[in-house]
Chain A
Amino acid sequence: MTEIFGIPIQAFAGQLLIGLQNGCFYAILSLGLAIIFGMLNIINFAHGALFMTGAFAAWYCTTSLGLSYWAALAVVPVVVGLFGILIERLLLQWLYKLDHLYGLLLTFGLALVIEGLFQHKFGSSGQSMSSPEALQGAVNLGFMFLPIYRGWVVGASIVLCIITWFMIERTRLGSYLRAGTENPRLVQSFGINVPLMITLTYGYGIALAAFAGVLAAPIIQVSPHMGANIIIVVFAVVVIGGMGSIMGSILTGLGLGLVEGLTKVFYPEASSTIVFVVMAIVLLIRPAGLFGKEK
């Protein structure tokens, strides 16, 4: 039992783990996009740039400010989330009554500006950041060596996704959010401060992206383009999963990460296009996405 379909089991499991880890980033980012789209009706193209901002902030905190990785993990999502709130209050709030296209264009422009600023300041070659000492090394699971940091990324991401799912689907605050997604005016007529809820939702979605950025910083090269690279795949994930289902975003993200990982094992040439092939097939069979509701 050292090979599976002619592939050494070590390599197979290793690629699956990398796939799962990328899937975690897809899941957190598409989750944020889904709740932002639900509440704000805005397709947040700046999501990748804010993911990148989170990674850069983590790199800066640990290399220049002398903060620990754990402090960065706590501080960066809050700070970047507050930056998101600023964006919502200054810019996005004027667009809610307009067509989706305006929000998409504005956030796309915003992404270009943010990426341009980082490129101007830090150049386009990547920065590297080491993982915290406690998470360095690997453990032997018998069938594979598990790098501890990758295991931590997968575990922390899944816990975060479950917490977010629970908050939205099982709590009172979440019921405001779900109802607000359907009919914000009516929810407001019950005495709930919907404009505030919208602002906080955007802030939370951005904080999620920044959290993913911090997790990614030690394993993906921290460069101004890291967000643009990942966000295209994440949008495909959102299309495949369908808007509107929290669990759908999570499962689709993880699933597509695994599919990508498997493709790297069996047909590496297709690994960067497989997500889009899946997207095309899903669109043909279920235009609203795997978990989406037909309107």
Chain B
Amino acid sequence: MSSQTMPTEYLRVNGLHAFYGESHILHGVDFTVRRGELVTLLGRNGSGRTTTLKSILGLVGKRTGSIQLNGQEVIGMSTHRIARLGVGYCPEERGIFSSLSCEENLMLPPIVKSGGMSIEEIYDMFPNLKERRNSQGTRLSGGEQQMLAMGRILRTGAQLLLLDEITEGLAPVIVQAMGRAVRKLAERGFTIVLVEQNFRFAAPLADRHFVMEHGRIAEVIAKSELAANMNKLHDYLGV
């Protein structure tokens, strides 16, 4: 494939079904994300947003359909091989390791590609982490743990960031800091899929919004169409 015909789409999800044991969670999810784009997955609890993120990395029980990363099919790959293609995942529960210090947590994910952020750049973005670098990971405050969960996937050279509920339960001032960080990451050219409950946080950041309902993408709303679609969105989200 020559550089002229390089697809600008970075992630293509087609007819994705996912299961946890007997329960069928995703019923044919279709969407594409362009290189450098920031999209959100919106929807009520249980609509399948988190499962969609986990499915991209193969973290669900069983999945069918197609997931292409930069043109490469990954649906049959094991989790660590998908991650090595350049996917960084920040889970909803943050997943900070209590047996590791803050800095060990930050340094844990191995470099998968060149071009990741340096540790200094990450400390510039989240100065708290530098101050607390020798503390036990789970002794950090909720906001610091969230910064750590995000910071540690920026070093690795991953180009696609899957961020799950990064503002959940945080104080407004921390939410603002996370917003600034996400904006910076988008400017740096990261491709970002953001699962967000807090619509006011997500609205000014994202290029497009995918609204999920019953395990499918029910609506795609571009940033420019947002104002015209507010009523519809309220119905979907029940806010």
Interface residues of A (CB under 8 A from B): 172, 175-176, 178-179, 181-183, 185-195
B83 touches which of A175, A181, A189, A195 (Cβ 8 Å): A189
Determine the chain A residues whose CB is within 8 A of the CB of B59 once the complex forms: 185, 189
Determine the chain A residues whose CB is within 8 A of the CB of B107 once the complex forms: 172, 175
The answer on a CB contact under 8 Å between A190 and B108 is yes
Within 8 A of A (CB), among B65-93: 78-81, 83-84, 89, 91
The answer on a CB contact under 8 Å between B99 and A191 is no
Determine the chain A residues whose CB is within 8 A of the CB of B156 once the complex forms: 190-191
Q: Which of B59, B80, B81, B84 counts the most chain A CB atoms within 10 A?
A: B80
Known: A182-B97, A183-B95, A190-B156. A176 touches B108 (CB 8 A): yes
When chains A and B are docked, how far (Å) is the Cα of A192 from the Cα of B108?
A: 10
Offer 29 A-B interface pairs, CB within 8 angstroms, sorted by A. A172-B107, A175-B100, A175-B104, A176-B108, A178-B99, A179-B100, A179-B108, A182-B98, A183-B95, A185-B79, A186-B91, A187-B108, A188-B78, A188-B79, A189-B57, A189-B80, A189-B89, A189-B91, A190-B80, A190-B83, A190-B89, A190-B108, A190-B110, A190-B156, A191-B83, A192-B109, A193-B80, A194-B80, A195-B78
* Nearest chain A CB to B131 CB, angstrom units: 21
Determine the chain B residues whose CB is within 8 A of the CB of A190 once the complex forms: 80, 83, 89, 108-110, 153, 156
* Nearest chain A CB to B89 CB, angstrom units: 5
The answer on a CB contact under 8 Å between B89 and A183 is no
Chain A residue at minimal CB-CB distance from B113: A191
The answer on a CB contact under 8 Å between B100 and A191 is no
Interface status of B203 (Cβ within 8 A of chain A): no
Determine the chain B residues whose CB is within 8 A of the CB of A187 once the complex forms: 108
The answer on a CB contact under 8 Å between B79 and A175 is no
* Nearest chain B CB to A95 CB, angstrom units: 17
Within 8 A of A (CB), among B104-133: 104, 107-110, 112
Interface residues of B (CB under 8 A from A): 57, 59, 78-81, 83-84, 89, 91, 95, 97-100, 104, 107-110, 112, 153, 156
When chains A and B are docked, how far (Å) is the Cα of A251 from the Cα of B80?
A: 36
* Nearest chain B CB to A237 CB, angstrom units: 21
Chain B contact residues, majority secondary structure: loop
The answer on a CB contact under 8 Å between B100 and A178 is yes
Closest 4 CB pairs of A and B: A191-B83, A190-B109, A178-B99, A191-B84
Chain B residue at minimal CB-CB distance from A176: B108
A191 touches which of B95, B104, B109 (Cβ 8 Å): B109
Determine the chain B residues whose CB is within 8 A of the CB of A176 once the complex forms: 108
The answer on a CB contact under 8 Å between B80 and A191 is yes
* Nearest chain B CB to A215 CB, angstrom units: 30
When chains A and B are docked, how far (Å) is the Cα of A140 from the Cα of B186?
A: 73
Chain B residue at minimal CB-CB distance from A182: B97
Q: Which of B89, B95, B104, B107 counts the most chain A CB atoms within 10 A?
A: B95
Known: A191-B112, A192-B110. A178 touches B97 (CB 8 A): yes
Determine the chain A residues whose CB is within 8 A of the CB of B95 once the complex forms: 183, 186
Determine the chain B residues whose CB is within 8 A of the CB of A179 once the complex forms: 97, 99-100, 108
Chain B residue at minimal CB-CB distance from A186: B95
Determine the chain B residues whose CB is within 8 A of the CB of A185 once the complex forms: 59, 79
Determine the chain B residues whose CB is within 8 A of the CB of A191 once the complex forms: 80-81, 83-84, 109-110, 112, 156
When chains A and B are docked, how far (Å) is the Cα of A179 from the Cα of B100?
A: 7
The answer on a CB contact under 8 Å between B91 and A188 is no
Determine the chain A residues whose CB is within 8 A of the CB of B91 once the complex forms: 186, 189
When chains A and B are docked, how far (Å) is the Cα of A181 from the Cα of B83?
A: 19
* Nearest chain B CB to A45 CB, angstrom units: 26
When chains A and B are docked, how far (Å) is the Cα of A245 from the Cα of B203?
A: 46
* Nearest chain A CB to B92 CB, angstrom units: 11
Determine the chain A residues whose CB is within 8 A of the CB of B81 once the complex forms: 191
For the A-B complex with A182-B98, A186-B95, A191-B109 known, give 18 more contacts whose Cβ atoms are closer than 8 Å. Answer: A175-B108, A179-B97, A179-B99, A179-B100, A179-B108, A182-B97, A182-B99, A185-B79, A188-B78, A188-B80, A189-B79, A189-B83, A189-B91, A190-B110, A191-B81, A191-B84, A192-B80, A194-B80
* Nearest chain A CB to B106 CB, angstrom units: 11
